[in-house]
A and B are shown apart, each in its own frame.
Chain A
Amino acid sequence: MYTTSEHLSAFAGEGLRTLALAYKDLSEEYYQVWKKKLHYVSTVIDNREEHLAVLYEEIEQGMKLLGATAIEDKLQEGVPETIACLTLADIKIWVLTGDKLETAMNIGYSCNMLRDDMNEVFIISGLAQLEVQQQLRSAKEHILGLSRVSSTGDVAKGEMFAEDSVFEEAIIAQCALVINGLSLAHALEPQLEHTLLDLACLCKTVICCRVTPMQKAQVVELVRRHKRAVTLAVGDGANDVSMIKTAHIGVGISGQEGMQAVLASDYSFAQFRYLQRLLLVHGRWSYFRMCNFLAYFFYKNFAFTLVHFWYGFYCGFSAQTVYDQWFITLFNIVYTSLPVLAMGLFDQDVNDQNSLRYPSLYKPGQQNHLFNKRQFFLCTLQGIVTSFLLFFIPYGAFSVMVKEDGADLSDHQTFAVTIATTLVIVVSVQIGLDTHYWTAVNHLFVWGSLIVYFAILLAMQSDGLFGIFSSNFPFIGTARNCLSEKTVWLAVLLTTVVCILPGLVVSFLRVDLFPTLTDKVRHLQKSRKKQGPQEQNLRRIRRTSSRHSAYAFSHQQGYGELITSGKNMRMSTLSSTRSLEGTAQSSSWIENILKRKNEVACISPERPDPPDSHRDFRGSADRLK
């Protein structure tokens, strides 16, 4: 017995998951008797749990110890770096695990989510609702008290602190919250959930241990409902499926645990560290591309359509189109669709290495900077102004224009072709200015679209097509007559210049006077292009290596109690019907659920004896720097 417990401490000291095994021989009659009792007791109406407990206690006596097993389950490589990186990107990370408190806290320390230099680590482990409530409240007041003491600005009322998101950022002075499943069951009740959420938002790190799958989903749901945040859940086992489904984005890690999480998720990959690339590179690029695409699309279509509004004043508001019917059909499909598609697929503002190197590039996406009401208004305004110039400059030029040989040039068809040509050129130049990353495909699509425009224009207004379909192609001869006149090209040039330059001025001024981080990184990228690609050089966070015990032997009950009590199964209907807006949160939070396995292996390769462990950790921490 003593040997076994020594072994167990040794295993736990190395952070292995320990399991003790014992056995007992039962005779058939004894078992039958017990089984009947079990069946009877499970149908009892009152105090069923107690009777069951007594029954279980009866059979689980006098067992013989077999021994102990220890399972080594490493954290995947790169997990702490990933977490550090994501934290720099203003992403809040919460851990929801089914492990014990000690194991979860150990994992937290090894990933640097919990640190020794944190002001306070609040452990909520109350069993009754009242107790949990008191613990939550006192923790919250403690934090607010700490920050009130340390804040140098105005001292606001306690109520305002909790609601003001700016203060929340200022308050986050290094506190951590650890809550176990039983207390969480109480804390997720409608009356306490806001306190829990507020407290969790005030802490830098939240670790929930001993949570059931249903509770994982409930926690995600809580954040989703009350915070204006996007939630992402990462999991690898079947017990994470409900959480993955509840969050906005579900990520499944495919590995040892089977494919359930992968099948339920939106994205899946094999290693946790790929999350960094998923978010900081691909997520960011996707947001950037989508916003550019949208803004350009609105601009292009407003410029195209509003010309008719201006023409209305001159055609008696009879809804006469300015363009050829065929141009209207083909404009959005053929002439301008491919360049913007290429921009939406290939554009990169910052290359992938720099996206990873500067995680705070992720913030504009969180704060909706690239496409919000203001940006929409600006791109719409640009479209309107472009349409105005597109109409009135040719109007001024054409109203008294004649050809070199005196023939008519101020007719409707010439005007139509001129404005159409100008429009295609202007929007192509504009997308040329908007594209940040010119691949061969972009070149092909942009120049190709222009060439295709002229080819189709000349083809459609040719004699041959008119001969076959006479009533459908009334613009016969217009392109040839109109585009061979120098005055027309002068008008096109002037219009293009006037339409493009204001946008160019504004972009240049913005980049010059108020450069965002993206602009600075792009500038850096350009000046560094000559040097070879540097390796990813994330700052290594100094691993403070404090040891906490990881005994599998817990004298507390497991969570069988919790499940049988049914507290985690009930979805409280009250909280699900509430539809609060929640506090305005400037940073977006993402919950991240770790693979809750042991942590030690990533620090030192070989197994040191416990007394030497401190020295080794420090040594290896230096090695890794």
Chain B
Amino acid sequence: MGKAKDKSGPLARRPDNSAFKQQRLPAWSPILTANTVLPFFYLLALICMLLGVWLLLTVQSTQEIKLDYTELGNCDQCFQLRKNVSYAAQTCSCKVEFSIDRAFKGDVFFYYGLKNFHQNLRRYMDSRDDEQTLGRKTKLKNPSSYCEPFAKDVEGVPIAPCGAVANSMFNDSFTLTYHPSRSRTIPVPLLRKGLTWYTDKNVKFRNPKTDNLTLAAAFEGTRQPLYWQKPVYDLDPHDPTNSGFINEDLIIWMREAAFPNFKKLYGILNRADASFTKGLPKGNYTIDISYNFPVQYFQGRKEVVLTTLTWFGGQNYFLPIAYLVTSSLILLMAVVLTLAWWKFGKDGKNMKE
């Protein structure tokens, strides 16, 4: 480009005459003309409309049942019981009944939901130790200061898992039963594994290395969080791959929700069972709830959601409707622009100076 030239002579200090330095780079200069903008708007309106309609049809094919069981039926007694913290050790169970009009075809997913529980509070979200749940030995006995005041108990014994997030883990449990007729009851089996993200279960959460010890021994020297009834290695006594830090309920709870009203997966219908190969048949159902999680402290509500899913997720009407609204707005704007261009703009450009 001229750098190699020996700089001497009368033209030595002349700046480079390259396209880059003289701002002559070849370029594309698009301008907004009616030919490009108007068809684009119409096309976009069409696309949004198609997407909206498609999504709406997809969502309509899902089925959902929601039950707010905070004070429903005899759960009210449990609700009153849980108001008093001194009865926290007492178990309480209640029954909730519902019926399904149309069979739920396909996979059915069982969620528990909370309202008004701010898992997205900053101090709450900070109060965890990812290295401890990764199974690092150093951190097991020595949780990070972010977990304070849930890092050690009054005697100084470290808590595993530490922090407010783990401490407030949701501990209601549910059992679903199907009543095909008045006398018969069939328990509905729920798969309680395979609920989490692959990366969460296999990378982010790891138990401390056992080296031929039992899981309980691996957690020697730590104790359970203050609000828990069971230590972490006993979360699933039947399945060691679901116990300790890699317990799926714990992992699901530790993935903090973005908003105060959320739902988390509890179980998936086990369609291997003969009665439920096609999904949930219609009829009456009851849920036996072991009611532990107190919600009156934050004016929250608890609910249970049963839903079928499509590739689009569950019953989420927001996106389809938003697409349809957007497409109509775009169409409106396109019409306005076309009118404006037709009436005024067609020859406005040719005036010079």
> Residues of B contacting A494 with CB < 8 Å?
48, 319, 322-323, 326
> Residues of A contacting B258 with CB < 8 Å?
314, 398-399, 410-412, 414-416
Known: A408-B255, A512-B341. A402 touches B352 (CB 8 A): no
A398 to B255 alpha-carbon distance, docked (Å): 15
Contact A410 B257 (CB under 8 A): yes
Known: A402-B265, A494-B323, A512-B348. A501 touches B333 (CB 8 A): yes
Known: A315-B122, A348-B23. A507 touches B204 (CB 8 A): no
Contact A319 B122 (CB under 8 A): yes
Contacting residue for B348 out of A406, A416, A515, CB 8 A? A515
Using C-beta atoms within 8 Å of the partner chain, give the interface range for chain A.
Answer: 35 or more
Q: Determine whether A487 belongs to the interface, using a CB cutoff of 8 Å to chain B.
A: yes
Majority-rule SS of B interface residues: mixed
Contact B131 A507 (CB under 8 A): no
Q: Determine whether A623 belongs to the interface, using a CB cutoff of 8 Å to chain B.
A: no
Contact A404 B121 (CB under 8 A): no
> Residues of A contacting B144 with CB < 8 Å?
471
Contact B120 A314 (CB under 8 A): yes
Q: Determine whether A524 belongs to the interface, using a CB cutoff of 8 Å to chain B.
A: yes
A528 to B45 alpha-carbon distance, docked (Å): 33
> Residues of B contacting A398 with CB < 8 Å?
258-259
Known: A463-B203, A512-B348. A407 touches B322 (CB 8 A): no
Contact A407 B309 (CB under 8 A): no
Contacting residue for A406 out of B23, B268, B337, B341, CB 8 A? B268
Contact B326 A497 (CB under 8 A): yes
> Residues of A contacting B44 with CB < 8 Å?
497, 501
A352 to B23 alpha-carbon distance, docked (Å): 9
> Residues of A contacting B200 with CB < 8 Å?
477
A285 to B111 alpha-carbon distance, docked (Å): 60
Contacting residue for A438 out of B28, B125, B136, B314, CB 8 A? B28
The stretch among B29-37, B68-76, B236-244 that forms the contact with chain A is B29-37
Q: Determine whether B286 belongs to the interface, using a CB cutoff of 8 Å to chain A.
A: no
Contact B51 A490 (CB under 8 A): yes
Known: A477-B204, A481-B199, A512-B340. A397 touches B319 (CB 8 A): yes
Q: Determine whether A151 belongs to the interface, using a CB cutoff of 8 Å to chain B.
A: no
Instruction: Tell me which residues from 516 to 552 in chain A have a Cβ below 8 Å from any Cβ of chain B.
Output: 517, 519-520, 522-526
> Residues of A contacting B282 with CB < 8 Å?
none
> Residues of B contacting A471 with CB < 8 Å?
129-131, 144
Name the CB-closest residue of A to B343.
A513
Q: Determine whether A253 belongs to the interface, using a CB cutoff of 8 Å to chain B.
A: no
Q: Determine whether B195 belongs to the interface, using a CB cutoff of 8 Å to chain A.
A: yes
Name the CB-closest residue of A to B327.
A497
A314 to B34 alpha-carbon distance, docked (Å): 42
A192 to B220 alpha-carbon distance, docked (Å): 96
Contact A408 B337 (CB under 8 A): no
Name the CB-closest residue of A to B204.
A476
Q: Determine whether B192 belongs to the interface, using a CB cutoff of 8 Å to chain A.
A: no
Name the CB-closest residue of B to A495.
B322
Count of interface residues, chain B, beta-carbon cutoff 8 Å:
79
Known: A406-B268, A504-B37. A401 touches B313 (CB 8 A): yes
The interface of chain A, by Cβ under 8 A from chain B, is: 285, 314-316, 318-321, 346, 348, 352, 358, 360, 393, 395-416, 436-442, 463, 466, 470-471, 474, 476-477, 480-481, 486-487, 490-491, 494, 497-498, 501, 504-505, 507-509, 511-513, 515, 517, 519-520, 522-526
The 8 closest A-B pairs by CB, nearest first: A477-B199, A512-B345, A396-B318, A320-B122, A415-B258, A318-B122, A439-B25, A406-B109
The interface of chain B, by Cβ under 8 A from chain A, is: 23, 25-32, 34, 37, 41, 44, 48, 51, 55, 107, 109, 111, 118-125, 129-131, 134, 136, 144, 195-200, 203-204, 252, 255-265, 268, 309-316, 318-319, 322-323, 326, 330, 333, 337, 340-341, 344-345, 348-349, 351-353
Give 18 A-B contacts (CB < 8 Å), ordered by A residue. A314-B258, A316-B121, A346-B23, A398-B259, A402-B314, A406-B265, A408-B252, A408-B264, A437-B28, A463-B203, A470-B131, A476-B199, A481-B197, A487-B319, A501-B330, A508-B34, A508-B337, A522-B29
A-B contacts besides A399-B262, A402-B313, A476-B203, 12 pairs, CB < 8 Å: A318-B123, A396-B318, A411-B255, A412-B256, A439-B27, A477-B198, A481-B199, A490-B51, A512-B34, A512-B340, A519-B31, A520-B349
